[in-house]
């Protein structure tokens, strides 16, 4: 359905940059796109990206299919970006069932269907809209948030990302984790005001977080996972809280209340939580005072002994 071109199945010759007619059959849509008949009827042509694995496997072995898919993705992206300049629109169709028409392409076992597009003409004003959309810069962080949000539970999807020009390495060539900047140090959510812990419970939670996350400054609205926390550290956090409160806090609660502010409010519903933290703090102060007095007594005794000698 392209003006000046006979309907049928064509092969694009990569060297001569020409179309080679393989078959005059034009019923591909009914056999390949049965669930998208309406889109197919409005399209003028279909593009099938097919990889010849016998040419790729010698270079990439078991990774040949993955690299083929990567290349198909790059090619598809380029086609979709350039097509509007020629008043052509492309609709990605994925990799449909190719078996019904495989013989029309003269393929063999080492050929692999990677991706498919349906295409056709679009109005000039549509090209302008598409161009404006293409020119709109997309933040890498926003793309990562969108990707993570679609694949992770809300409580595990990060709210912010830190982009580095390169990763610090140890002399052995491994990632030097100690040299990495603290998560969240480059930017904090502008909508969230940084607030230091105030109550004894908040301060104790902040001390525990700081030890687990190796981070000196933590605000009560900072998210545990955004600061670099993970599921293993959540287990350690549960253990620390068990020791601090003499109480078992469910892991699900720690996932759900992932800021110091929210967790402190949740724990404060148990009216004894703040009291337990204060008692623990008093005991620590008492032990420090006792140790200090013992140290002073030893020094006094040593001075007296030196004077009498």
Task: Supply the CATH number for residue 278's domain.
Answer: 1.10.1200.10
Is 106 inside any structural domain? yes
Is 291 inside any structural domain? no
Domain hosting residue 193, numbered range: 189-284
Structural contact between residues 263 and 197, judged by C-beta atoms closer than 8 angstroms: no
Confidence of residue 291 (pLDDT cuts 50, 70, 90): low
Helices and strands (DSSP H and E) totals, the chain:
11, 5
Is 91 inside any structural domain? yes
Is 246 inside any structural domain? yes
Q: Which residue has the higher pLDDT, 131 or 212?
A: 212
Shared domain for 226 and 130, answered yes or no, is no
Shared domain for 113 and 196, answered yes or no, is no
Q: Which of 96, 114, 135 is the last residue of a domain?
A: 135
Shared domain for 198 and 278, answered yes or no, is yes
Condensed to tens digits (0 to 9), the pLDDT of residues 154-195 reads 767 777 777 788 888 888 888 887 787 766 555 554 445 678
Shared domain for 118 and 199, answered yes or no, is no
Residue 80 has pLDDT above 70, yes or no: yes
Sorted by sequence, the CB contacts under 8 Å of residue 290 that are 6+ apart come out as none
Q: Which of 119, 135, 151 is the last residue of a domain?
A: 135
Task: Supply the CATH number for residue 26's domain.
Answer: 3.40.109.10
Is 308 inside any structural domain? no
Shared domain for 18 and 118, answered yes or no, is yes
State the total domains in the chain. 2
Is 160 inside any structural domain? no
> b or e along 56-83 (b: 16 or more beta carbons within 10 Å of the residue's beta carbon)?
bbeeeeeebeeebbeebeeebeebbeeb
Consecutive H or E run containing 105:
none
Residue 118 has pLDDT above 80, yes or no: yes
Is 161 inside any structural domain? no
Shared domain for 15 and 102, answered yes or no, is yes
Q: For strands 111-121 and 88-94, give the pairing.
A: antiparallel
Quick one: pLDDT at residue 190?
46
Is 203 inside any structural domain? yes
Condensed to tens digits (0 to 9), the pLDDT of residues 195-221 reads 888 888 888 899 999 898 888 788 898
């Amino acid at each position: 359905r392209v003006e000046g071109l006979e309907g049928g199945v064509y092969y694009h010759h990569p060297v001569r940059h020409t179309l080679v007619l393989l078959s005059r059959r034009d019923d591909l849509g009914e056999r390949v796109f049965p669930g998208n008949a309406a889109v197919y009827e409005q399209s003028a042509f279909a593009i099938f990206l097919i990889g010849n694995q016998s040419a790729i496997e010698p270079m990439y072995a078991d990774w040949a299919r993955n690299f083929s898919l990567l290349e198909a993705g790059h090619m598809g992206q380029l086609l979709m970006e350039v097509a509007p300049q020629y008043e052509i629109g492309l609709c990605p169709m994925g990799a449909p069932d190719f078996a019904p028409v495989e013989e029309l392409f003269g393929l063999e076992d080492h050929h692999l269907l990677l991706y498919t597009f349906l295409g056709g003409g679009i109005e000039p004003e549509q090209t302008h809209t598409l161009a404006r959309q293409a020119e709109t810069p997309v933040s890498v962080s926003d793309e990562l948030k969108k990707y993570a949000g679609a694949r992770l539970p809300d409580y595990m999807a990060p709210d912010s990302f830190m982009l580095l020009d390169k990763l610090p390495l140890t002399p052995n060539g491994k990632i030097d984790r100690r040299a990495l900047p603290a998560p969240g140090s480059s930017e904090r959510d502008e909508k969230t005001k940084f607030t230091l812990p105030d109550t004894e419970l908040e301060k104790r939670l902040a001390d525990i977080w700081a030890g687990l996350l190796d981070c000196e400054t933590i605000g009560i609205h900072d998210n545990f996972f955004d600061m670099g926390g993970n599921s293993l550290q959540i287990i350690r956090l549960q253990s620390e809280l068990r020791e601090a409160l003499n109480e078992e806090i469910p892991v699900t609660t720690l996932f759900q209340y992932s800021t110091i502010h929210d967790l402190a409010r949740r724990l404060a519903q148990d009216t004894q939580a703040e009291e337990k933290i204060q008692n623990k703090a008093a005991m620590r102060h008492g032990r420090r005072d006792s140790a200090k007095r013992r140290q002073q007594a030893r020094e006094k005794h040593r001075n007296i002994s030196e004077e009498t000698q």
